[in-house]
Structure 1
């Protein structure tokens, strides 16, 4: 989930961050350029006109209450007329341009310049105005260009005052201040980047549905469906949406029907100012299949049951005549359906021009295939492009599709939002954005960033993303910038590590137990994170618990499996059970897309702790070996599995870890002490002795080399000797080989160690632009460090023939080739992007070693009919593994080389490059980065 998110320094207010995603106009100390909201125990009254939108009246009530939450004083809230003969000396005047007679009077009387917002979608302005009305010497005037513009202006100020948009949904305390001011110049915002910014409640059973049933019903739910999602629930959601500047909702759909679950649902949505739609499978505002099962007749097949389905849609259109976005349905007789639905809307809504009715066609899965196969839709219908359910957008609008009057947008699932949605902005897919938020919690931060980015994408770029989480943490937890930075690091790491592989897909083989210390390093990362419970601690601890299952001991697996449940209980009992059921979703041991019916513990094996192993009390586990321990026969010790020679270990100066380790463990219940010695002075052991007992089951011994004493290849014998209580002593010899490889003086670059050169893609030696395009780093993306991608996005989305595009170079040095054949394999780790510009433009990269032959690899094959490539899905597919490995074989002798990576297509994100000279071992994340000589 992904997501390294975040914000600009210019958004910081005097007392810490209280607002994210807007310029600030709030102060907490008086000056010559401020207007008093609350000062010296007095609050400026709030004035509106009676002809104002009801939704604005409602938001103004919240605005006054928010001021009270911050200062302890609640302003009076009054409807007044433009013929006011006398009034307070100062006031806050709120209203919508063209709707509010009060605002019209102020504008006419003062000649206030409102041209910056006139006719703009959801724009607003606020400023101090002198003598706006009779008797009012000065007023802070908040004006919206339309209903939501005014509502957003009010909630924008509330957030800056210190009231988090999540004050109820995440129990965020309000930052207090007895004095509250705004700058005389005020705040303003033009039309948002994305016109409709939506969330979609989905897969809401069992968590969100069970929670809502407990909190918003008497336990019975709606009469026809049993759904708990009534107007009490939705008005809480509407307020949150408007506070974060969302304006469009796809409601909960599993066993629910927004239009019939509660007769007040639709009316209140319009009253609040929320635009309603339905998901990609629910045409003309009717929940399908829920409502069809209740009211439909015959099969859901327009080819054989057109009239009944048409009549069914008429009901949805009739009950949704106010501002709505109507979803078009999807099936193989689509062209007929689209025509019929447009005629239906023309008739029911009584419009002469159907293009004035907002309609959207979601190109989800096979529906995209209909479009790609040539089906046309009217130019005014919005095309909503979709992702693959993992956060990878399947296709963006092409240059030829960007001049459609309806425009286009994106339906997206929570993941690494910035990388994909910045591409949507660059490609003008900004009419509608819909974020599938599941149960909404615990995706608070991710949801807000998605909406905030859609509200004003110009504020965000790849270099300032890290400031969003720190600013968000300051606002939510009222902490210092130092603590907020630590929280940002925690959240960023949780996001990255969970993005490596979804926690529910982790298993005992995900991270290597033997190679590159991968499993223990992954676990150590989780162990290093402190936290806050609801927003930070629970995601961290719950993810750590699942990660540890992959590689810990059997008894710890059982303990952690219980701890997993205990964490769920802790969440559900928080705040006297306010969020009971919100973590009901099954979350471990998924084997296919649907949730299992119960959390089950992974398979474990155990050894008999009371019986000694046949070889004796001491067992030696050698780094990188699958053997259960030496001494004794084992199938992994040698090919025949018995009478094996002493184990051997080798090392060179450029192994990233810098040492090897040996775990001395118990072969049974008998305690013993041990020593580790060597016959060579250059081999250093630490610790050189220890004791093993039932209370101390294992001791790790590190072996390192003093390379100043080694010339060429030298061998030593390492001996582990054990003194065992009431048993004869025992020992195990291990051959240790040190290969002192050397590089030429002055070489700069990555050096082969352990038969491998591993390079993080961001760590390039040179970067060459072509036609203004260049490779840039996307911080935080990817499984290990970051990624690189061609930049800027958008434009004509031009591509290049192999070898002619922007390039990035890496210098490296090798000592070997694979099996000494003269060949090396270069594997490029690429983010699992799709062919977003169409399958006739498959993603590709080109690589050249030195001046050798250039190789291009078009690594994402086409997938017809809106399908995904066969390698994409499954528990070991590209999406689940969060990587596509692209191997290429080159001829390259030992020595210094330069690898040159060329752009072909613009949407590629490269994370890592691994060069195999004969030593690359199996692992999930790939070898750790090689040593760099500078």
Structure 2
């Protein structure tokens, strides 16, 4: 577990220090008598030692450049030799304990306490030391336990000075200061939470590969496969990774790439920087399979048939990687990252034994358990382990997610004492590759990764980042949490993005909060339904005003993002465009395009002329999609040309389409009048329109009665509407009149024409106190068109005036349902120190609640009715069939990650009815990828868990009982007989 002497994060946000989740030891004035790095135009001299790691010397050069970037003052780097006379002050001394003779000399001569650094992986300590060297009265001394400890210590200061880790990769401007000071007590950090913290460049065609080809080659990549991923490219990746405090990389694997062959400088460069290299779950023994296998050997990739050739192939990989810091991937999958045809426990046991033998022979004289190794339990491979495949105790078990950031499994209690430990791997894949734009919530990452920490899966974390851009912020959070998980809690998680916005754009606290809200909504909206899965009918076009609400939300988001973009400095605009404004605009435009296509199709079926204008909206949005891509590619002298080339429209199976295609739309004949006349009446909640026969008016589709609308006194919308539309080229005027005085009609008249083909007429109740019980009325629409007889059509209205007792507090049924956001509980109990806690921003609508702490009650479960409960008070006026109500909990997708003996479950109880337990996760068939129905859960980003209770109309209490940890409840919907189809469920009910 990481340890750090850090100030409260909330306080650091107001210190002016541009760092995220770090100890704040830098200031820009000398109020606290700090150590001067730059003061009055004079920079400290940086002392190093010749015998230190080459990677340390390289990072020191970055440190020198960072100081100049911030202050425009150049500092001197001096390699100190014992006996040298120093005349310049101040002095900044940096080096690796046990490697740098300079640091060892200072430790020995000053009794500098390095106990919290020595022997601790990647730890560092900095402080002012008196008389560290002859002639030096005092100096700031930065000591690293190893080379990366030093490097992180330097980059930690650089970030606090004002240099974003993304200064190159996202063009974030450097914050300028005249003076830089470090507190005498300095900044320190112990061993990170997760030992190996890495990213995986994957599915890197078309964007990343085409960009790299244009920027790092002359248009021709390395032979024999024309790969552009050379050392010029990787030096930028390595620097970014270290600035983000990562230490591990899986390089690109697909298309034409093979890290060890593409450039002879790639592997030594990684070691020079201090980056540990590995290979992905399908690339054993530090070899870029399948590309290296195809170029060197060919033949079938099957160990049962080609053991000798594959063994020799792996031997070469191990020998090639031997001089460099490598975490070797073990195991084997079939060609194309598919299950191996002849795979089984016996064969894979032989594979791992042979791979271990190769490593023992290659590292002759080294204990094999000291050679870092990992085996990734990806897809069917997990089943082999669960069914008894033996894995050496020192090998890291890397547990995989479902490709959508939901972990399939964590180490069980009896697996947590393995010397190799465990880790987690977040991948991207079927049922749709979602590589275009950010659609993963930071709150979702935190929820899953905090479980990994609690269950001791902290040896290795790997995140599939696709093309790296445009996932910058989420990559940093992943690595930030891996570096020091103790910094982030549910109570301060929201401050991550606000502090990130202040660092990147130098904005006020108010604007940083607005940026954080924009980004929270961006990822929430995209996570509801990944853009690649979005369909024209995903959101209901008729119920709960869902589709139009989605469009309104995106429109508002674009407006706020535009306002913020206009406010940031010109220097920050390119970064803001990449990191905020482009993903907001592009996502909003896509949603507008696809949902408008759905409305177009509906209006065509309703014979409404406005369908044609919506087709134009769709086509314009399709063109604008490319305009935004082109803007991204041409800015900054085309620095990021190709980076947004990923196709994202027209998916029809898991892999990307070869070209973007516009959603299907249709038209009505604009010059021909609809058969029933010029006026079309489309009431809210109906897919049908009147007059005239058509489906969805009633079951038989003809001779149907007039539509009826219900106005409910506790309906959250407070109104119902009818859309009066054009049924062809003939303009008309209309009036809407009622036979009841309690109805308010707005507007009660209007004009409809091909130029203005729609008018929405709202119905509300003027005064609910004037209605007792139910009241009925009729609204008559009369159309007058030149050359035609007046045409009338009536819509029935029913006003339902419900009332609750004065002493009731809680949620009230409206329109036949009660909808409650899970965080809005009436009561929350605690048992054995475990309670239900809110995870802010998580999920599709508001947030989620989950038992906390994650491993409370010693990680054990509770018997139904004995654990912590969270309660909701609600009031109903009706029931469903047989006097029952249906309680539906919207729960974040989750697996039985505690093992077969601990299936995930939750309990529900209404009033005095017996509590019901629900173990709702479908069983997984060994060797299969996912449980039955999991694709639906992924697509909807939710699992709906249902329980039925007998409940007469009146006041009720719902309790949700904890059975197992890790369940996250987002929303509760109670159907009292009126629930309609929608994607997100009804909006939250009125609360009194």
Q: TM-score range by the shorter chain?
A: over 0.9
Q: Which residue of 2 aligns with 1:3?
A: none
Q: Structure 1, unaligned stretches of length 5 or more?
A: 1-6
Q: Which residue of 2 aligns with 1:233?
A: 233
Does residue 1:804 correspond to 2:848, yes or no? Answer: no
Q: Which residue of 2 aligns with 1:148?
A: 148
Does residue 1:355 correspond to 2:369, yes or no? Answer: yes
* Equivalent of 1:736 in 783, 794, 797: 797
1:10 CA drift (Å): 2.9
1:443 CA drift (Å): 0.2
1:32 CA drift (Å): 4.4
Contact residue 500 and residue 882 of structure 1 kept, 8 A: yes
1:622-662: per-residue Cα shift (whole Å, max 9, x none)? Answer: 110101x3233222223333333322111211111111112
Contact residue 128 and residue 185 of structure 2 kept, 8 A: yes
State the distance in 2 between where 1:86 and 1:703 align. 86
State the distance in 2 between where 1:385 and 1:571 align. 36
Coordinate RMSD, CA, aligned: 1.5
Contact residue 45 and residue 89 of structure 2 kept, 8 A: no
Local SS of the residue matching 2:285: helix
State the distance in 2 between where 1:266 and 1:13 align. 42
Q: Which residue of 1 aligns with 2:455?
A: 427
Contact residue 63 and residue 155 of structure 1 kept, 8 A: yes
Q: Which residue of 1 aligns with 2:696?
A: 636
Q: How does 1:170-185 map to 2 (within 5 A)?
A: 170-185=170-185
State the distance in 2 between where 1:108 and 1:610 align. 94
Q: Which residue of 1 aligns with 2:329?
A: 327
Does residue 1:649 correspond to 2:651, yes or no? Answer: no
Structure-2 change in CA distance of 1:533 and 1:32 (3 Å): closer
State the distance in 2 between where 1:189 and 1:315 align. 38
State the distance in 1 between where 2:82 and 2:330 align. 45
Q: Which residue of 1 aligns with 2:594?
A: 550
Q: Which residue of 2 aligns with 1:408?
A: 422
Local SS of the residue matching 1:829: strand
Q: Which residue of 1 aligns with 2:626?
A: 565
Q: Which residue of 1 aligns with 2:296?
A: 295
State the distance in 2 between where 1:23 and 1:673 align. 69
State the distance in 2 between where 1:608 and 1:780 align. 46
Q: How does 1:845-860 map to 2 (within 5 A)?
A: 845-860=906-921
Q: How does 1:517-532 map to 2 (within 5 A)?
A: 517-529=545-557, 530-531=560-561, 532=576
Local SS of the residue matching 2:848: strand
Local SS of the residue matching 1:528: helix
Q: Structure 2, unaligned stretches of length 5 or more?
A: 1-7, 333-342, 428-439, 562-575, 597-613
Contact residue 380 and residue 929 of structure 2 kept, 8 A: no
Does residue 1:823 correspond to 2:825, yes or no? Answer: no
1:108-150: per-residue Cα shift (whole Å, max 9, x none)? Answer: 2222111121111111111112222122222111111110000
Contact residue 13 and residue 24 of structure 1 kept, 8 A: no
State the distance in 1 between where 2:511 and 2:196 align. 35
* Equivalent of 1:906 in 952, 965, 989: 965
State the distance in 2 between where 1:297 and 1:175 align. 53
Farther off after superposition, 357-366 or 764-773: 764-773
Q: Which residue of 2 aligns with 1:4?
A: none
Structure-2 change in CA distance of 1:13 and 1:813 (3 Å): closer
Structure-2 change in CA distance of 1:14 and 1:750 (3 Å): closer
Structure-2 change in CA distance of 1:13 and 1:525 (3 Å): same
TM-score by length of 2: 0.91
Does residue 1:40 correspond to 2:40, yes or no? Answer: yes
* Equivalent of 2:902 in 834, 838, 841: 841
1:40-90: per-residue Cα shift (whole Å, max 9, x none)? Answer: 111111111111111110111010111111111110112111322233131
Does residue 1:891 correspond to 2:950, yes or no? Answer: yes
State the distance in 1 between where 2:783 and 2:950 align. 49
Contact residue 32 and residue 183 of structure 2 kept, 8 A: no
1:571 CA drift (Å): 1.1
Local SS of the residue matching 1:142: strand
Farther off after superposition, 638-647 or 749-758: 638-647
Contact residue 37 and residue 90 of structure 2 kept, 8 A: no
1:872 CA drift (Å): 4.2
Does residue 1:442 correspond to 2:470, yes or no? Answer: yes
Q: How does 1:201-350 map to 2 (within 5 A)?
A: 201-254=201-254, 255-296=256-297, 298-321=299-322, 322-330=324-332, 331-332=343-344, 333-350=347-364
State the distance in 2 between where 1:798 and 1:770 align. 12
1:213 CA drift (Å): 0.5
1:463 CA drift (Å): 1.3
1:921 CA drift (Å): 0.4
Higher relative contact order (CA 8 A, sep 6+): 1
Contact residue 749 and residue 810 of structure 1 kept, 8 A: yes
Does residue 1:622 correspond to 2:654, yes or no? Answer: no
TM-score by length of 1: 0.97
Q: Which residue of 2 aligns with 1:398?
A: 412
Aligned length: 922
Q: Which residue of 2 aligns with 1:160?
A: 160
Q: Which residue of 1 aligns with 2:100?
A: 100
Q: Which residue of 2 aligns with 1:541?
A: 585
State the distance in 2 between where 1:822 and 1:387 align. 42
